[in-house]
């Protein structure tokens, strides 16, 4: 079976010379939900930006390091890759720029060459999925942080990607917004890779986790095993989630 995501020996330095990724290798199978953990600056966002070709800056530099659904990303197939892999950024304001939520959600599907009717159907389904039908007419900047996140998610879901990559989906949300988003993500059937500091989210949604530190994969395995490894967690600036503190070791 084709791997959903296949990153091999990926190395990346920003133009200023900062080496953000050192030989990162990571495979995600179709249907998996994988947590991507690591302290600030460990390379999570940089890695995510390689998965749909935002990085490197010049696609000609991609040397077979990243494949999505069996296709190595090249300049020629980048459009196709972006249809399959939807990316949700941490900062909703980067992703919402239209006059209304509905227009924002329609933006992605409109790029896919669908008929206006198909676009409208997808927008309606996506708004229903995230519970924002009532707010479709609102300007996105009038929404709460949680609603903005859900609007972004609707925009990604409306493109019907088979893989969903999320950068810090729960950061800045209040407890209710967080619960709603976790419940929503649980229902989404796509393959998921979730970069987050929210270890409770990881426990709830991701059977497997990968830990990055200083641009290197330092652990990859069952989430419970990783979170129970106190020495590993401390060594990489992570903290065992409170909900696991009182549990007996398996």
169 is a site residue for ligand ADP (CB under 6 A)? no
Stretch in the footprint of ligand ADP (CB under 6 A) among 39-47, 54-62, 137-145, 147-155:
39-47
| Distance (Å, whole) CA 5 – CA 114 | 26
Greatest CA separation found in the chain?
Answer: 55
Stretch in the footprint of ligand ADP (CB under 6 A) among 35-43, 113-121, 175-183, 184-192:
35-43
What is the smallest separation between the CB atom of 46 and ligand ADP, expressed in angstroms?
A: 3
Where is 26: in which H helix or E strand?
strand 19-28
CB < 8 Å & 24+ apart, contacts of 180-184? 180/131, 180/146, 180/150, 181/146, 181/149, 181/150, 181/153, 184/129, 184/130, 184/131, 184/150, 184/153
35 DSSP β-pair partners: 194, 209
| Distance (Å, whole) CA 203 – CA 209 | 9
Region 40-99 residues binding ligand ADP, contact defined as CB under 6 A: 40-46
Buried b vs exposed e over 136-147: b needs ≥16 C-beta within 10 Å?
A: bebebeebeebb
Rg of the chain over CA atoms, in angstroms? 18
237 is a site residue for ligand ADP (CB under 6 A)? no
Site map 142..161 versus ligand ADP, x via CB under 6 A: --------------------
CB-wise, 157 or 233, nearer to ligand ADP? Answer: 233
What is the smallest separation between the CB atom of 12 and ligand ADP, expressed in angstroms?
A: 9
What is the smallest separation between the CB atom of 2 and ligand ADP, expressed in angstroms?
A: 26
What is the smallest separation between the CB atom of 215 and ligand ADP, expressed in angstroms?
A: 7
Number of residues that bind ligand ADP (CB under 6 A): 12
Q: What is the binding site for ligand ADP (CB under 6 A)?
A: 14, 16, 18, 20, 38, 40-46
């Amino acid at each position: 079976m084709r791997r959903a995501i296949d990153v091999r020996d990926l190395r990346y330095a920003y133009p200023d010379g900062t080496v953000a990724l050192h030989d990162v290798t990571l495979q995600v199978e179709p249907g998996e939900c994988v947590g991507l953990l690591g302290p600030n600056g460990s390379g999570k966002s940089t890695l995510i930006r390689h998965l749909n070709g935002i990085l490197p800056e010049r696609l000609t530099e991609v040397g077979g390091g990243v494949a999505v659904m069996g296709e190595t990303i090249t300049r020629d197939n980048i459009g196709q890759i972006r249809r399959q892999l939807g990316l949700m950024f941490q900062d909703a304001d980067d992703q919402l720029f239209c006059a209304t939520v509905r227009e924002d959600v329609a933006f992605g599907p409109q790029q896919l060459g669908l008929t206006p009717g198909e676009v409208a159907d997808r927008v309606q389904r996506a708004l229903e999925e995230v519970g924002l039908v009532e707010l479709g007419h609102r300007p996105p900047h009038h929404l709460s942080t949680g609603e903005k996140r859900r609007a972004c998610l609707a925009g990604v879901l409306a493109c019907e990607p088979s893989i969903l990559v999320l950068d810090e989906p729960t950061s800045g949300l209040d407890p209710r917004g967080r619960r709603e988003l976790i419940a929503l993500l649980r229902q989404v059937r796509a393959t998921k890779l979730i970069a987050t500091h929210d270890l409770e989210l990881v426990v709830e949604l991701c059977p497997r986790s990968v830990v990055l530190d200083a641009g290197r994969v330092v652990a990859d395995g069952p989430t419970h095993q990783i979170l129970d490894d106190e020495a590993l967690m401390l060594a990489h600036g992570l903290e065992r989630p409170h909900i696991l503190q009182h549990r007996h070791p398996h």
